[in-house]
């Protein structure tokens, strides 16, 4: 009887060890993914919601959550604090984080920040009510402009553009620091003249504004991009992107990056990268900006190192 008990105990120990090994070897056991996005009227939020669905549907035993935030800077800081597993951020914010740019909202270097993928370009879109008479950057002087949430990626873009154009917020008649939807509501109510929004083309907030009253899409000359240099590039907002916009408008673009932390396991980062590209159609259905997501360029020209799990995916796919 004593021998049988010992054998049974040994079998139980082996089975338990195997069970623990199976759990430890699974990338997805007990995993939680909090997807950090932006305001609900921007592009990050619908793409983040789609990404959370992809992960929840395709990574076994993973729980997902979508968190609306003030976007780039907040997302990076939340990831650094271990309060998010993946987040959307503008390339210049990512660069500022790894350099420890205090003015941009990073008093210390964020050494744990890692990249999953460069995804699509943000277009700097300055839109004014037609009745304001604003048609150029110089016309903003003395007018009311919303530059995005304080220290957001959009607001950092606004500061950079003003400085490169020889202007500052002091030149404005009124400066508001508001998310996209709130900015548009003030313009519709004639309490504000213009809004600067750094987002994917066709952002819901500007589409809403353009359908409510006549607008001018304000040009940002290519010389501004040349002066600022990487990660800014000169681009055009195609004609008919918004109602009443009949001609292409020059502006700047900057790449959006999905970022994570070095604290996230290699297996989970691998799955987050793999499922992103294998189900990119879900993101495309959520917003047109996702049409620019391309695995062939996703690991290039990043201002922060790739997560080893993401690097593994790109190597397996023959992309590195």
Does the pLDDT at position 28 exceed 50?
Answer: no
What's the whole-number mean pLDDT along residues 70-98? Answer: 95
81 and 127 in a common domain: no
Q: Do the bridges between strand 144-146 and strand 174-176 make them parallel or antiparallel, or are there none, so unpaired?
A: parallel
- Give the SS3 label for residue 50: helix
pLDDT in tens, 203-225: 999 999 999 999 999 999 999 99
What's the whole-number mean pLDDT along residues 122-130? Answer: 96
In a domain, 24, yes or no: no
Q: Do the bridges between strand 31-36 and strand 86-90 make them parallel or antiparallel, or are there none, so unpaired?
A: parallel
pLDDT in tens, 93-117: 999 999 999 988 899 999 999 999 9
More confident residue, 73 or 153: 73
Choose the final residue of a domain: 228, 254, 280.
254
Neighbours of 5 (CB within 10 A): 9
The number of folded domains in the chain is 2
- Give the SS3 label for residue 66: strand
**How far apart (Å, rounded) are the C-alpha atoms in residues 106 and 176?**
22
246 and 261 in a common domain: no
Neighbours of 286 (CB within 10 A): 19
In a domain, 1, yes or no: no
Mean of the per-residue pLDDT values of the chain? 90
In this predicted structure, what is the pLDDT of residue 229? 83
Choose the final residue of a domain: 234, 254, 274.
254
232 and 277 in a common domain: no
**How far apart (Å, rounded) are the C-alpha atoms in residues 177 and 37?**
18
140 and 114 in a common domain: no
pLDDT in tens, 222-264: 999 999 887 888 999 999 999 999 999 999 999 999 999 999 9
More confident residue, 19 or 315: 315
pLDDT in tens, 162-189: 999 999 999 999 999 999 999 999 999 9
| Entry pTM | 0.75
127 and 242 in a common domain: yes
Q: What is the DSSP string of 17-33?
A: HHHHHHHHH-SSTTEEE
In a domain, 192, yes or no: yes
Does the pLDDT at position 21 exceed 60?
Answer: no
113 and 38 in a common domain: yes
Choose the final residue of a domain: 254, 270, 301.
254
What's the whole-number mean pLDDT along residues 17-39? Answer: 62
39 and 100 in a common domain: yes
235 and 150 in a common domain: yes
In a domain, 38, yes or no: yes
In a domain, 16, yes or no: no
Q: The domain containing residue 150 runs over which residues? A: 122-254
In a domain, 99, yes or no: yes
In a domain, 26, yes or no: no
Question: Residue 69: which H helix or E strand, with range?
Answer: none
DSSP structure class, residue 68: -
Question: Residue 88: which H helix or E strand, with range?
Answer: strand 86-90
Question: The domain spanning residue 308 has which CATH number?
Answer: 3.40.190.10
Does the pLDDT at position 7 exceed 50?
Answer: no
More confident residue, 122 or 15: 122
225 and 109 in a common domain: no
163 and 149 in a common domain: yes
In a domain, 2, yes or no: no
Question: Residue 84: which H helix or E strand, with range?
Answer: none
146 and 135 in a common domain: yes
151 and 99 in a common domain: no
């Amino acid at each position: 009887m004593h021998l049988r008990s010992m054998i049974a105990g040994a079998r139980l120990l082996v089975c338990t060890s195997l069970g623990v090994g199976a759990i430890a070897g699974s990338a997805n056991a007990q995993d939680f993914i909090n997807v950090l996005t932006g305001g609900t009227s921007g592009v990050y939020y619908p793409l983040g919601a789609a990404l959370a669905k992809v992960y929840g549907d395709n990574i076994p035993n993973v729980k997902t959550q979508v968190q609306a935030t003030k976007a780039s800077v907040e997302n990076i800081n939340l990831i650094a604090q271990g309060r998010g597993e993946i987040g959307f951020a503008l390339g210049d914010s990512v660069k500022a984080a790894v350099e420890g740019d205090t003015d941009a909202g990073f008093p210390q270097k964020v050494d744990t920040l890692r990249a999953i993928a460069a995804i699509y370009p943000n277009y700097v879109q300055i839109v004014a009510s037609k009745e304001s008479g604003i048609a150029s950057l110089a016309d903003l002087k003395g007018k009311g402009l919303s530059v995005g949430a304080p220290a957001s990626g959009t607001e950092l873009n606004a500061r950079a553009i003003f400085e490169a154009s020889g202007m500052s917020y002091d030149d404005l008649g009124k400066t508001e620091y508001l998310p996209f939807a709130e900015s548009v509501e003030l313009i519709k109510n004639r309490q504000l003249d213009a809004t600067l929004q750094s987002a994917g083309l066709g952002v819901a907030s500007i589409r809403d504004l353009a359908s409510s009253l006549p607008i001018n899409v304000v040009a940002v000359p290519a010389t501004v991009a040349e002066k600022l240099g990487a990660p800014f590039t000169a681009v055009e907002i195609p004609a008919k992107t918004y109602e009443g916009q009949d001609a292409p408008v020059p502006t700047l673009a900057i790449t959006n990056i999905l970022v994570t932390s070095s604290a996230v396991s290699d297996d989970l980062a691998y799955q987050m990268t793999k499922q992103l590209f294998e189900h990119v159609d879900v993101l495309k259905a959520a917003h047109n900006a996702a049409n620019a997501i391309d695995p062939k360029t996703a690991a290039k020209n990043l201002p922060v190192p790739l997560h080893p799990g993401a690097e593994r995916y790109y190597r397996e796919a023959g992309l590195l």
